[in-house]
Amino acid sequence: MKNYILRRLLIIIPEFIGITLIAFFLFSLLGDPFAELQTNPFISPSDIAALKHMYGFDKPVMLRYFYWFFAMIRGNFGISAVTGESVIKMIGRALPITLSINIFTFTISLFVGIWIGFKSAVKQYSFFDHLFTGISYFGIAMPHFWFGLMLMILFSVKLHLLPPGGIMTPGMESAPLIARIMDRAKYLVMPIIVISLGSIAVWARYTRSSVLEMLRKDYVRTARAKGLSERQVLKKHVFRNALNPIVTLFFLSLPGLLGGSAVTEQVFSIPGMGRLIIQAVMNNDYMVAMGGIIMYAVILLISLVIADVMYALIDPRIKYS
């Protein structure tokens, strides 16, 4: 077991290097960030050369990669080309916003999704099952941004109940805490509905098929045959075993907490992580984009390891060879 964990941890290193390579070279393929300056008649070629030298862009791409890589592992992610702010600071501002939305949606959709999945598996082909299977089909087949727009039409345009985007009413900065929370809640209702619907659908479908598989197992029949109450059978035998694959999915989706739903944040103009990365990519702000992607990928790598190890711990049948 110790060996297994150690080896699993060591695999992170080449994978991390692979991710940094892909992220860096993909962005360097996008081309010269000074290309726009060259067409500007008020900037002389020598100024551009000086700028390039200042930012290290006169060096070959391989060398730039190493500069960036070693600065990054020391915790220096560079500065934004657009605002000149440090990348860490920008991430530090966006992260709490995304976290506050995502912890909420994640918890809701986890519990609601597992509950729905479990209920509809136990009562397979009942009205409840059909209803929620139908809803989860919609949750999966709907483009998130479009669902967001439809909610906006309903709640903002038709009913005038909720603001269509942003996270704060202007002038609320110095309001009392309760009022600020109420104000923030108004802005987050629609994004939370959009993000939850999709992930509830995923959790429910996953739980449903996992529980259905367990219900067919021999030991469930044995448990029933020896006279356990249905409640006991479902709780101790079916649910407990159906949880195994769900735990893996749980850890796999943890990084989503920090990643933020880029599309939803974009539609509702929420300045979170997803929007930060997407905007940076759109504006050729490489340092911010790479920093954001690397942060996300590292957290995902660690979660993958935890998922694998947890899986081995929960399910004794897994061999760690």
Partner 1 sequence: MTKEKALKLNKEGSFSYWQKVFTRLKRHRLAMISLYILIAIIVIVVFVPMFVHIDPNKVDLAQALQPPSPHHIMGTDDNGRDEFIRLLYGGRISLLVGFAVTFFSGLLGIFVGLWAGYKRGFLDNLLMRINEIMMTIPELPLLIVAAKMRFIPNSVVKLIVIMSAFGWVGIARLIRGETLSVREEEYIEASKAIGVPDRTIVWKHLLPNTMAVSIVWATLRIGRVIIAEATLSFFGLGVQPPTPSWGNMLLGAQTYIWTSQWLVWWPGLSILLVTLLFNFLGDGLRDAMDPKLFL
Q: Residue 175, interface with partner 1 (CB under 8 A)? A: no
Neighbour count for residue 175 (Cβ, 10 Å): 14
Cα dihedral value 68, 27, 195, 250, nearest 10: -50
Nearest distance from C-beta of residue 122 to partner 1, angstroms: 18
Nearest distance from C-beta of residue 40 to partner 1, angstroms: 20
Cα dihedral value 266, 270, 271, 273, nearest 10: -70
Between CA 251 and CA 237 the distance in angstroms is 23
Q: How far is CA 143 from the centre of its chain?
A: 17
- Please count the CA atoms within 13 angstroms of the CA of 291 that sit on its side-chain side: 29
Which of these ranges, 58-66, 112-120, 226-234, 296-304, lies near partner 1 under the rule CB under 8 A?
Answer: 296-304
Nearest distance from C-beta of residue 176 to partner 1, angstroms: 32
Q: Residue 61, interface with partner 1 (CB under 8 A)? A: no
Residues paired with residue 86 on neighbouring β-strands, in sequence order: 79
Q: Which of 24, 266, 272, 291 binds partner 1 (CB under 8 A)?
A: 266
Q: Which of 49, 103, 150, 313 binds partner 1 (CB under 8 A)?
A: 150
Which of these ranges, 11-19, 42-50, 79-87, 232-240, lies near partner 1 under the rule CB under 8 A?
Answer: 11-19
Which one, 122 or 267, has the nearer CB to partner 1? 267
Q: Residue 149, interface with partner 1 (CB under 8 A)? A: yes
Nearest distance from C-beta of residue 108 to partner 1, angstroms: 22
Q: How far is CA 205 from the centre of its chain?
A: 19
- Please count the CA atoms within 13 angstroms of the CA of 127 that sit on its side-chain side: 0
Nearest distance from C-beta of residue 42 to partner 1, angstroms: 26
Number of residues in contact with partner 1, rule: CB under 8 A? 45
Nearest distance from C-beta of residue 138 to partner 1, angstroms: 7
Q: Residue 297, interface with partner 1 (CB under 8 A)? A: yes
**Three-state DSSP class for residue 79:** strand
Residue 237 is given by DSSP the state I
**Three-state DSSP class for residue 86:** strand
Q: Residue 281, interface with partner 1 (CB under 8 A)? A: yes
Phi, psi of 19 (to 5 degrees): -65, -45
- φ/ψ bin of 78: left (φ > 0), alpha (ψ from -120 to 50), beta (otherwise): left
> Which residues contact partner 1 by CB under 8 A?
14-15, 18-19, 22-23, 26-27, 29-31, 137-138, 140-146, 149-150, 152-153, 156-157, 164, 209, 259, 262-263, 266-267, 277-278, 281-282, 289, 292-293, 296-297, 300-301, 304
